[in-house]
Each structure stands twice: as C-alpha cells, then as structure tokens.
Amino acid sequence: MDGKIGLEEHFGVADFLHDSEGVVPADRWPELKSRILDIHDRRLRLMDAFGMEMMILSLTSPGIQEIPDAPTAIETARRLNDYLAEEIAKRPDRFQGFAALPMQDPDAACLELERCIGTLGFRGALVNGFTELGENREALYYDLPRYRPFWALMERLGVPFYLHPRNPSPRNAGVYEGQEWLMGPTWAFGSETATHALRLMGSGLFDEHPNLAILMGHLGEGLPYSIWRVDNHNAWAKAPPKHKAKRGLRDYFQENFYLTTSGNFHTPSLMCAMAELGSDHILFSTDWPFENIDQAALWFDSVDMSEADRRKIGRTNAQKLFKLGGDAR
Amino acid sequence: MDGKIGLEEHFGVADFLHDSEGVVPADRWPELKSRILDIHDRRLRLMDAFGMEMMILSLTSPGIQEIPDAPTAIETARRLNDYLAEEIAKRPDRFQGFAALPMQDPDAACLELERCIGTLGFRGALVNGFTELGENREALYYDLPRYRPFWALMERLGVPFYLHPRNPSPRNAGVYEGQEWLMGPTWAFGSETATHALRLMGSGLFDEHPNLAILMGHLGEGLPYSIWRVDNHNAWAKAPPKHKAKRGLRDYFQENFYLTTSGNFHTPSLMCAMAELGSDHILFSTDWPFENIDQAALWFDSVDMSEADRRKIGRTNAQKLFKLGGDAR
Amino acid sequence: MDGKIGLEEHFGVADFLHDSEGVVPADRWPELKSRILDIHDRRLRLMDAFGMEMMILSLTSPGIQEIPDAPTAIETARRLNDYLAEEIAKRPDRFQGFAALPMQDPDAACLELERCIGTLGFRGALVNGFTELGENREALYYDLPRYRPFWALMERLGVPFYLHPRNPSPRNAGVYEGQEWLMGPTWAFGSETATHALRLMGSGLFDEHPNLAILMGHLGEGLPYSIWRVDNHNAWAKAPPKHKAKRGLRDYFQENFYLTTSGNFHTPSLMCAMAELGSDHILFSTDWPFENIDQAALWFDSVDMSEADRRKIGRTNAQKLFKLGGDAR
Amino acid sequence: MDGKIGLEEHFGVADFLHDSEGVVPADRWPELKSRILDIHDRRLRLMDAFGMEMMILSLTSPGIQEIPDAPTAIETARRLNDYLAEEIAKRPDRFQGFAALPMQDPDAACLELERCIGTLGFRGALVNGFTELGENREALYYDLPRYRPFWALMERLGVPFYLHPRNPSPRNAGVYEGQEWLMGPTWAFGSETATHALRLMGSGLFDEHPNLAILMGHLGEGLPYSIWRVDNHNAWAKAPPKHKAKRGLRDYFQENFYLTTSGNFHTPSLMCAMAELGSDHILFSTDWPFENIDQAALWFDSVDMSEADRRKIGRTNAQKLFKLGGDAR
Ligand SMILES: [Zn+2]
Ligand SMILES: [Zn+2]
Ligand SMILES: [Zn+2]
Ligand SMILES: [Zn+2]
C-alpha cells in the first residue's frame, strides 16, 4: 500500500555511533554505518520505492540512555534533538521526530521533552529502555517514583512514548554468560523490554495517568502471547496481585499500549497481536536501518488481512495517534 | 472430551515441600499443600469429573534442582522416584510418572534415568530448569558439554524430556529488584525457561541428537511468538549466526519441541502455537495443583477447533509420544 | 459485555404470521409465536439479563417481500411500519426500527422509505431478499435497473440497508427437490442471499452509489470465505470480468458491506470474517426469536478477542453506522 | 517445498473438449486447450519448476457426467480411463490417476471403478457433480438410493472419491438469469457442489459407510465457514433434524471429508478450513490447467504455517490417503 508511516526508524550522527557497533559483523559495519547516517538520500529512495510516505525518526539505541553522566546526557540529547529538527525541516512532509531524553535527570528530561514538543515540533519521545546513572551504572526503570512528574507531563502534552529495547544490564544477564549470541535483537532485547513494560503496568502508573500511550516495537516484545497468564496464573487462589495496579495488567496493555511491526515480520505473531489488542493498536514500522524497508513493506503489503485493517495499521492509526493530519489514502 | 491425558501434573511429599511455599499467600497454603500431597483422592475425583483419564506425574518445582549438594540430590531423587513408582503401581491405568533427576551429577542423572525408565517404568524425565551446584549455587544449564552423555542416553531411551520452569538465579534477576511480584508463574518462570530452551537449541544439541523430544509447558513460555525473530533479525546482513547450531533455531523448535497448555488457557496464544508448530506438537496439561483441573478442562473442551485437533492435543499426541497405547476414544 | 446493540431482531403481528410457520416443528410453534409477538415483556427481560441495551427491530421474514400484489404490499408495509413506530415510542431507549418496504413498486418503496426515516425516525431498511411480483411470482432482485432510484435515495438518506435472507424461488430450487430439510436457515437462506449480494456487487451499483452500506446477517452468508475466489479464479487468463462493476467485487464487499453475527455463533467463522473485513465492519446480532439471546450473548461475550474489538462489534460500530449516539461504555 | 502432490489436476483429449469452452474468453481458448491436452511436456516442466512431485490426474469437468446417454457414457469413460492409464504408464513416478465414471448407470459405474482400481491401478474416482440422464437431462445426485451399492464398493476398495464441481442444472439456476457471469468457478460451482455434499451427509450415507473418504476442492466450496450453522440453527427448538443422518452433519464433514486448496489460494480461508477440519484433512492442489501451478505453489510455499502442517498438506496427507508410499521429504 502507499502512504505507509513508520515509527521505529532510526538515525545516528557520526560522533555518537560507537554504540551500534557489534550489532553486525565487522565487515557489515560500513554498510550499517552509511545507512544510519543517511536521511535524505538512500532512505528516501527506499521509502519512495516501497510506499512509505513518512518516518518518525528516532536516535539509534542505546543512545542517551547509556550515558552515565547526567550533564553529558542532557547536553547530548539537546544537541541531537536540534540536529534532528534541522533534518526534519528539510522535508517535514516525509520526516517527523521523536525526542531523545536525558532520563538520568527527570527534571531535565521534562524540560527537554517540553522543548522538543513545544519548540521543535516533535511528535513524541522514544527512550531506549532503562537509563544508566553514575559510576555504578545504576539501572533506572521508569516505574520509579522519581519519574511520575515526567509521566504527568507526557500525559498533559498528549504525545506517545516509545519504549525501545536495549540490552539488559550485566546485573541481569547471568543467564547469557557464554551465550552472547542471545543478546540484542536475537532475544535479550525483547525479554528486557517486556519486563520493563510490565514494571510500568504493575506500578499503578496507568491508574494515575490513564491517558498515556506507550508504543512498543517488535509486535510487543512477546507480551501479547503471555500477558493473559500474567493476570490469570493460580486463579483458584484468588489472591490479590502483589503489584500496585488497580486492574489486571492486560487491561492496561490493551488500552494504553500500541505495538509496531518493527523487525517482527511474522504473520502468526501479527495475528496473535491483533487478536489480543485489536487492529487499532497495531502500527507499521520497519526498524530501519537494522531491518530492511523492502522486507518490512513487501511482507506487510502482502499479509492476508482486510484492506481496512491494512490501512489502519499502515497509516491511519499513526495519523490519529500522532495527530499527523492527512487523508486515509 | 473424555480421555484427556495431562503431562504437567505435580505431586509432592510432606518432608520436601518447603520450596513451594510463597507461591500462594499464607492463608492459601493449607489448600495448596493438601492438593500437592494428594494423589488418589481429590485429584482422581477431579480427573473423573473433567474427563482426564491419565496424568503423568512429576515432582513439584524446583524439586531436586535446588539441592546444591550432589549426594543429597542423588539420594533425594532416588527416594522420591521410588515413592512415585509405588503410588503409580496402585493405579497404573490413571497415573504414570516422570523421573526426577539429580542433574548436579550428570553420571548419577544417567544412572537414575536408566533406573526410572528401565526398572520403574517411567515415561520420561521432568527437570525444573537449571540445576544449582555447590556453595556458590552455580547455575548449570543443560547445553553445557558435561550433559552431552545424558542427552545421548535420553535419545537412546527414546523418552521425552520436560523442561519445567523455575525462577532465575539471583545473578540474573536484577531487573526484578523491588518487583518480586514478577517472579514465578507471573512472568520470570517463562522468561527464564524460554532462555534455557534457546540455549539448548543454539548449542548444536539437536544436530548431534536429532531425535530428542523436549516438552515445554505454558504453551512454550512465549517462544512461539518470538522464535521467528530469533532467526530472522538483521536478515539483510546475512551474517552467520553466532551460535553453534547448524540450522535456524525455529527448525529445532518445530521439530524437537512439544508444548503443553499447562497454565496458559488462552485461545489466541493456543492458536498462535498451533500456527507455529502444528497440532501434532501441542498437548493438553493443567499444571495441577497450581492451576485448576476444571478451568483447564472446561476451557480446552470448549475451544473452537476441529475435533480432530482436540483429540490429538487432548489425548493421542500423548499416547504416541509416551508410547502409552490405548485407543483414540 | 453490557450495552450490546442487536440489528437482526425480528417481530411480527398476529394477523401476518402465517409465513413463519414451518420454520420449527408444530409443537414449537406456540413458543415461537409468543416470542415473535412480544416486544416489551420477555424480550426486554432477556435483553436486560444478557447485556443488550438496544434492538433495531425488523418485521420477520419473508414479510412484505412475498406479497405478490403491489397495492397490498404497500398498504401492509405502511400499516406494520406504523405499528412498529408505536411500539418503539414506548421505549425509544431500548428499541429502534428498520423500515419494511414494498419493493414490488420501487416508487412506493421510496415513498415509504422517506416516510419511515423522515417521519417515523427509523434507522434504516430491512428487506427479506428478492421481492415476488404478480401472479407468476416473478422474482425481483435489487440489481435490476428499476431499483436504481431507490438506491439513490438510500444513499442520499445515509441509512443502511439490511439484506435479510429468504428461501429461493421454486424456479431456483431444483437441487432441493426431496431435500426440503436444506431450506431455510439450514442452508438455502445463505446460498440465496449470498447470490443476491453478489448480483448487487456485480451490477455496478456501488460504483454509482459508493456510500451505500449493506448489512448481511449470519456472518455474511458464507461470502467472507469465498469472495476472494469470485475475483481471482482463472487469474492467468487475465480476462476482464463479465459483470458490470468497475472493481473487484471483494473491494465492494470490504467497503460497502457490514456483517452481523446473527445465528452464526461460531468462532472460526467470526475470525475468518474479521480477517476479511476487519472488525469495523462486523456487528453483533442475535436473530431473535429464531435464535436465542442467551446463546448469542454468552458466546459473544466469551469469544477470545481483544476487548477493543468486542466493544466495536458489540456496540460502537452500530452506534456509528446508525448514528445512535451514546457512549462507548 | 519440494515433493508436493496435487489432486485436482485435469487433462482432456482432443475429441472430448467442447465442454470446457466458454470457461475463458475465445482468445484464451488456444492457450487453455494446449494446457489441457498436454501431460508430459509443459505440465511436467512446471511441476519441476514449482516443486510438484506428482499429480493424480482427472478428466476435465463436466466430463462423463454431462453425457445423457448411458451407453455412450460407459464407452467414453472406458476409453478415456484407458487413455489415462497409458499416459500414467509413461511416468508413474510423476502421474497417477482418478477414474472417470459413468454414474448414469450405477452398475456400470461399479464395474468401471473396479476395473480402474484393480486393473489400471488408479487411486480413486473423481466425479463432476450430479450426472445427467436421458432426454430430459434428469439430474442425479449421489445420495439417491440407487447409488448405495456404488458407495459400498467405494468403501470396500478403500479409495477416495473426489466430488468435483459442475454448474447447476438450468432447473436450479433461476437466480442466475441474466447473471451468467456468476456461473462456473466464479460462484455457481461452489454453491452447487456444497449443496451436493450436504445431500450426501444428510442421506445417512456415512452412517452406513463410515469409512468413505470424500474429497472436495476449493477449500470445501464454502462449507467450512457455514457447516456449523447447518447443525446449530434454531438450537432452542431442540427439533430433531429433518434429514436422515444420525449425527450432526459437521461430524461427517470433519471425519469423512478432505479438502484441497485447488483454486482458492487465500490464506484466511485456509486458516478457517484448518480450524474446522484440522490439518490432516487439508491437501494441496492447483486446479491446473484452469489455475496456475506457479500461483498455487508460490502461495502455498509461503503461507505462514508450521512446516509440519505444510508437509502434511503438501505431501504426506496425500501419501496416506492414496497409499502412495514414498518418504515425507
Ligand atoms: Zn529499533
Ligand atoms: Zn508446573
Ligand atoms: Zn433473521
Ligand atoms: Zn477443477
């Protein structure tokens, strides 16, 4: 279909790229690097060739989240958001932006969020999992009380928050010892990010801020398949859940979460996600440059689903969620 | 349907029960305890009432796996397997058994496995995730080289291995700090066990022993939804996978793995599992006494699927896999 | 769920009931008769008990369509529409109405439609398949040119048209000779009505009036399963279709048609319909009094689908399509 | 996948081709004709190119069934079966055969069936819907009592019966007047053939001969979507069905029927069929030369299903049902 909009589409800048090394073998790094740095050339040609009208761009993972020093994180986020705004200004019909945020300092994250939405015209925020802070690289998850003012601001601004994957902290990676192949998009990304999302749900965040919209990539990092059991295990015991949320977590997942197809171009999983959340909460994405636009688009365009659902998932859900305007095509 | 066979159905003995405390609130423990200890009374009445002809019984988690001292593990496994054999002998038409194994000592595990299958007439082995060994409680996963002779024996005996969940080791549980509600069947069981299964697949085990049959509960601990991405991320890079297996891991998952419905009575997830593995590799189970027989059976009996598939999943797949004999009903 | 709205919900009047005899055995006729005649008593109690807020009522099949004399048809439709309007006025919060139409005379049908929508406040029209006209009981299908002004009016009024089943004309029932058990809801209703719908699609009607909304019961009388083949058979021949429509018929089916669950409470069929049309074009209905409200509601409330889709199918799709107002619940 | 086996794959002979004219526009007839007449040239090359190891060949529709004179029908069937046997003998590794049968004379049909299975080595029979008999072209359906000895023989021989479509008799085609575009594979084939199948089910045939195996093409001519309603309409009335069968018709459909994918290359319909009958009763076919081998194979090979199901549907189900031998590949 024409007019697709992508929401997990990454860019990088030359002096902040070291983090993405290791994702691919060394001999593929030049290719990946050129993909990340490019915005207006090859990327745009691929978008044209495969029916993508727009990308909402985001800084590549782990981005700001792995900077342990808060002032550096604040300055870097500001600088890269400015860069992104300049690039978007060249083709606002084709590119929009997600804010990168220095979650190391919640107050600063709020300030930068307000600036990005209010001044730079960004459409939401994308954060790469937990934030590391300090020499000990403490892992800060966003269910912590210190982030409640941030979430209040997100809700007030009415823009979505994309919870992008990152690798688990070494403290949480014992099971991967000697099994580094399981890190990254292979497996650890999904397990880590799903757990983070559950922490948010269980914290009561969505009772306090019921209008928050959280995006997750990769068709929900496995949660659509497993969320029922989170609420329904040991049902006979009728024990009140030990978390702080007022409702079953599946309620929040169905109401506050939106899933993208990034990097998970597998029809049975998509069908399961649609059965769990409904087609209004599923959105197309590619995960460029880590996944291919052609693969994502050719798959999505040919999945056997109703054209009504394809239009929603490919385009109109994003238009509504990000208030993009434009026709349904 | 009548004649259902259950494969994740646990029992315990009074002097080895401490480990299952904490799963339910204190005021539910007497109920859970009486369920675990019973075999021939309430359990059998529930089986009669809800169309279960047979259970293949297994020692409740974490069982032998959490005994850090190998000799104690060996002795305990032997004693509890003997106990189970005696109980089965009272009603072999309704109960069969899985061996509990002292994986702390691979040689001893082999000896006990041979004894259980050859002498006691058990149908397979059920192991509760990684085994802890020594004062430091080292976590031993079964992809380690020391277990290859064990797997060779499993293949030679031609009996299935049930990889039952357990909680992650503290070394791997940083993400759960302050979030203990995520432990156990809520979430951590599944994440831990899926990772263990991936380690097995990536180790080349199934290249060496292609006839192994591994059972997983809870509809596969999330893997049916995510396994495609394990093999297909970053496809453009055409990088050889970093694990040691010769084929895509989804091949082994589809060929060597069998999933049970234990504790995951959710139709969209079942449909996704059937789409990934086919109905010949899905089998009914309840997870009694942690989940209810009535809930499992009423759900399964009413799922909208073909009666042919219901018969397979409810009964004949188990008859074939465990060489149980009997008619299809 | 609470707040369900039903769209294929029939009533009758005592002096116009003969046509519904034969649907059930003689000894069940008193029960069926009392169900048909009742509106405010048992019907309302069942609606309360099973979460139906509203029914849009329609005259029971074949109704006006089997009156071969046009003036009689006109007078009868007018009389029964007036009766329905009076009954609705007693509880407009629980009942709304479909117009019965004398399609024997297209001009009169237009007049009655305008009266029903404009004066009586009805929400659409429900017609029971082809109309018989004259002594030879000619079968008039609504793709005939004489009905184009009627369709233009439907589109101008912006109200939906429900194509309800009826039995095939004897001219078309050779295959049922000696097989009367196949008539009615068992089989012939669906085959006849699906064919009528295809005639509409193939006539170019929806090219001329692209905003028409056609409702079909029983999950679309089989069309979701088969419509792809209507367009795609003999694809290699690249022959232009022999019908008059400009696009593939599946396009019209996906855009102009809305399906209700009436009398087809079968989850795999519902899933297939949702895959073909998307959940925005599926709506709950029971087919009372021929099918049971409790059966329809208990099934629908427990189908494993997202709550978002359940809310749409059960309520909000009808609110939008019939401009009913009210909250989403 | 390699090794696919096709079951609805037609051939014709030059002096018996007039019946297939009209299926495609005149300018496509030379192409269709050359496809029908060919067996060992283009057909085999396409089979090689798209992974079909074998076709079980059948005479193109309506074949013997439209010959109103019984002696002519008998002689023609005999002659064409002999022809087919000769062609198969050239490449028995790639081609096997279905018997064409003169159902005009049940005794002769039995004799020819025995000859085809016993002497010619055919694998089953394929009949093109009802048979016409006599000057009035009476339409004979196979639920008629005169065919019971034939069915007894089919069961005794243990070979499958393929109920292939044909157009309805003019007596049953009133609804198609002026709508000839609905005839043939577009729509009328399916409606006619599904009704014939229901007649068989309702006649008690499968009570008397429970081991019969009936194949239907085009994913079951719509029945998987609708068969539930055949049994479950008006359930509250608890009226005994008016047909002669002892069980619900869905039972026979699930047990005695096997569906092929011929000409219905649509994934949601395939998924619905699999949900209704299970993957053991679905088999790959193309409907060559009316549908394309490449289209059928490229679709089937890429449908997102488990490889276990793909192997069954593509190959091993046919091996079992037709006792073909060979490995699973
Ligand atoms: Zn990404
Ligand atoms: Zn268990
Ligand atoms: Zn009705
Ligand atoms: Zn054919």
Radius of gyration, alpha carbons of chain D = 19
C304 CB neighbours in chain B (<8 A) are: 266-268
Considering only CB atoms, B307 lies closest to which of D254, D271, D305, namely D254
User: Residues of D near B (CB-CB distance < 8 A)?
Assistant: 251, 254-255, 271, 274-281, 304-309, 312
Cα C10 to middle of ligand 3, angstroms: 7
Q: Is the pLDDT of residue B21 over 70?
A: no
Residue B327 located in a structural domain: no
Neighbours of chain D (3+ CB pairs under 8 A): A, B, C
pLDDT of res. C173? 83
Residue D94 included in any domain = yes
DSSP for C104-121, please give it.
TSHHHHHHHHHIIIIIS-
Task: Name the active-site residue from B19, B105, B143, B287.
Answer: B287
DSSP state at residue B183 = T
The CA B99 to ligand 2 mean position distance, Å, reads 15
Can you tell me whether residue A282 is helix, strand or coil? strand
DSSP D172: G
Which residue of B lies nearest to D274 if distances are taken between CA atoms?
B306
Chain C contact set for D137 (CB, 8 A): none
What is the Å distance from ligand 4's center to D163 Cα?
10
In angstroms, the CA B15 to CA C270 distance is: 52
Q: Indicate whether A20 pLDDT > 80.
A: no
Please compute the mean of the pLDDT values over residues C35-63 and round it to a whole number. 97
Size of interface C-D (CB pairs under 8 A): 182
In which order are the strands placed within the sheet that holds D282-283?
Answer: D4-11, D52-59, D95-99, D124-128, D161-164, D214-216, D257-260, D282-283
Instruction: State how far the Cα of D89 lies from the Cα of C171, in Å rounded to an integer.
Output: 47
Give the Cα separation of B223 and A300 in Å (integer): 22
Give the residue from chain B lying closest to A242, CA to CA. B181
Over 80: is that where the pLDDT of B280 sits?
A: yes
Q: What is the 3-state secondary structure (H, E, C) of B194-256?
A: HHHHHHHHHCCHHHHCCCCCEEECHHHCCHHHHHHHHHHCCHHHCCCCCCCCCCCHHHHHHHH
Residues contacting residue C224 through CB under 8 Å, at least 6 positions apart: C253, C259, C269, C272, C273, C275, C276, C277, D225, D268
With contact defined as 3+ CB pairs under 8 Å, the chains touching A are B, C, D
- Mean pLDDT across the stretch C209-238? 97
Q: What does each of the 329 residues of chain D score in pLDDT, given as a tens digit?
A: 999 999 999 999 998 886 666 778 888 999 999 999 999 999 999 999 999 999 999 999 999 999 999 999 999 999 999 999 999 999 999 999 999 999 999 999 999 999 999 999 999 999 999 999 999 999 999 999 999 999 999 999 999 999 999 999 887 788 898 999 999 999 999 999 999 999 999 999 999 999 999 999 999 999 999 999 999 999 999 888 999 999 999 999 999 999 999 999 999 999 999 999 999 999 999 999 999 999 999 999 999 999 999 999 999 999 999 999 888 77
* Nearest ligand atom owner, CA of B233: 1
Which amino acids of C are annotated catalytic? Answer: 287
pLDDT over threshold 80, residue C48: yes
ipTM of predicted complex: 0.92
Q: Nearest Cβ partner of A279 from C255, C276, C278?
A: C278
Q: What was the pLDDT predicted at D326?
A: 84
Using an 8 Å CB-CB cutoff, list residues of chain C that contact chain A: 251, 254-255, 271, 274-281, 304-309, 312
Considering the candidates D287, D294, D304, D327, report the single residue annotated as catalytic.
Answer: D287
Q: Number of helices (H) and strands (E) in chain B: give both, helices first.
A: 13, 10
Q: Residue C26: which pLDDT band, with cuts at 50, 70 and 90? A: confident
State the Cα angle at A291 between A258 and A324, rounded to 5°.
Answer: 40
The confidence score (pLDDT) of residue B170 equals 83
| pLDDT band for position A174 (cuts 50, 70, 90) | confident
Higher-confidence position of A92 and C175? A92
In a domain, D146, yes or no: yes
CA distance C224 to chain B (A): 18
**pLDDT score recorded for residue D115:** 98
- Which chain B positions have a beta carbon within 8 Å of A192's beta carbon? 175
pLDDT at A86 over 90: yes
The CA distance from C305 to the nearest CA of chain B, in Å, is 8
| CA nearest to C254, candidates D268, A252, B50, D61 | D268
Round to whole Å and give the CA distance between D36 and D87: 14
| CA-closest candidate to residue C199, choices C230, C159, C160 | C230
Quick check: helix, strand or coil at residue A294?
helix
**A328 within domain boundaries:** no
Mutation site for A-interface testing, chosen from B181, B221, B267, B293 by largest number of A Cβ within 10 Å: B181
Alpha-carbon distance values, A143 to A109, A146, A205, A243, B178 (Å): 15, 8, 7, 12, 11
pLDDT at residue A190, rounded to an integer = 97
Is the model's pLDDT at A107 over the cut of 90? yes
- How many other CB atoms sit within 10 Å of the CB of residue C291? 27
Selecting from B251, B279, B304 the residue whose C-beta is nearest the C-beta of D279 gives: B279
Q: In this structure, what CATH number is given to the domain that contains residue B33?
A: 3.20.20.140
CA separation (Å) from D169 to B82, C188, C195, D137? 72, 16, 16, 9
Query: In whole angstroms, what is the distance from residue C307 CA to residue A250 CA?
Result: 10
Q: Look at residue C153 in the predicted model and tell me its pLDDT.
A: 98
Cis peptide before C92 (omega within 30 of 0): no
CA of D10 to the centre of ligand 4 (A): 7
Q: Do D239 and C25 touch (CB under 8 A)?
A: yes
Question: Residue C289 CA: which ligand is closest?
Answer: 3
Using the predicted structure, report yes or no on whether residue C84 has a pLDDT greater than 90. yes
Give chain C's radius of gyration (CA, Å).
19
Q: Do C23 and D234 touch (CB under 8 A)?
A: yes
Q: Is the pLDDT of residue A22 over 80?
A: no
C52 phi/psi in degrees, rounded to 5: -100, 120
Contact D275 B312 (CB under 8 A): no
- In this predicted structure, the answer to whether residue A286 has a pLDDT above a threshold of 80 is yes
- How far does the CA of residue D265 sit from the closest CA of chain A (Å)? 11
Q: Is residue D224 part of a domain?
A: yes
Mean pLDDT, rounded, for B316-320: 98
Q: Do C278 and A305 touch (CB under 8 A)?
A: yes
| Residue A103 domain flag | yes
pLDDT average, residue stretch B193-207: 98
Average pLDDT over residues C231-250: 94
Going by pLDDT thresholds of 50, 70 and 90, the confidence category of residue A69 is very high
Each residue's pLDDT tens digit, A295-321: 999 999 999 999 999 999 999 999 999
Give me the phi and psi of D163, to 5 degrees please.
-90, 95
Q: Give the pLDDT band of residue A163 (cuts 50, 70, 90).
A: very high
The per-residue pLDDT for range B140-165, each reduced to its tens digit, is 999 999 999 999 999 999 999 999 99
Ligand nearest the Cα of residue B58 is 2
Nearest CA in chain C to D26: C239
Residue D79: per-residue pLDDT: 98
Measured in angstroms, how far is the CA atom of residue A119 from the centroid of ligand 1? Answer: 25
Q: What is the mean pLDDT of residues B67-75?
A: 97
- Chain B residue set in contact with D, beta carbons under 8 Å: 251, 254-255, 271, 274-281, 304-309, 312
Which residues of D are less than 8 Å from B255 in CB distance?
308
Q: Which percentage of chain B shows pLDDT scores above 90?
A: 90
Mean pLDDT over B232-256 rounds to 95
Chain D residues closer than 8 Å to B270 by CB: none
The catalytically annotated residue of A287, A294, A304, A327 is: A287
The pLDDT of residue D21: 61
Subunit contact C218:D229, Cβ cutoff 8 A: yes
DSSP state of A18: G
Beta bridge partners of A6: A55
Residue D329 forms part of a structural domain: no
Q: Return the DSSP state at A60.
A: P
Give the closest ligand to the alpha carbon of residue A11: 1
Count the domains in chain B: 1
Is residue D11 within 8 Å of residue D60, measured between CB atoms?
yes
Percent of chain C scoring above 70 in pLDDT? 98
| pLDDT the model gives residue B20 | 60
Q: What would the pLDDT profile of C249-306 be if each residue is shown by its tens digit?
A: 999 999 999 999 999 999 999 999 999 999 999 999 999 999 999 999 999 999 999 9
pLDDT of residue C81: 98
**With the CA atoms of D184, D188, D192 and D194 taken in that order, what torsion angle do they form, in degrees rounded to the nearest 10?**
100
D308 to B254: CB separation less than 8 angstroms, yes or no: yes
C-alpha C221/C-alpha B224 separation (Å) is 34
Catalytic residue check, D82: no
Domain limits at D142? Answer: 4-321
Question: Chain B closest CA to C263's CA: distance in Å?
Answer: 16
Identify the pLDDT of residue C170: 82
Nearest listed ligand to the Cα of residue B296: 2
Please tell me which of the candidates B251, B278, B307 has its beta carbon nearest to residue D279.
Answer: B278
For A305, name the nearest residue in chain D, comparing CA atoms only. Answer: D268
List the single residue in B with minimal CA-CA distance to C269.
B304
Give the pLDDT mean for A155-163. Answer: 98
Identify from C223, C249, C309 which residue to disrupt to test chain A contact, counting A C-beta atoms within 10 A and taking the largest count: C309
Does A326 fall in a domain?
no
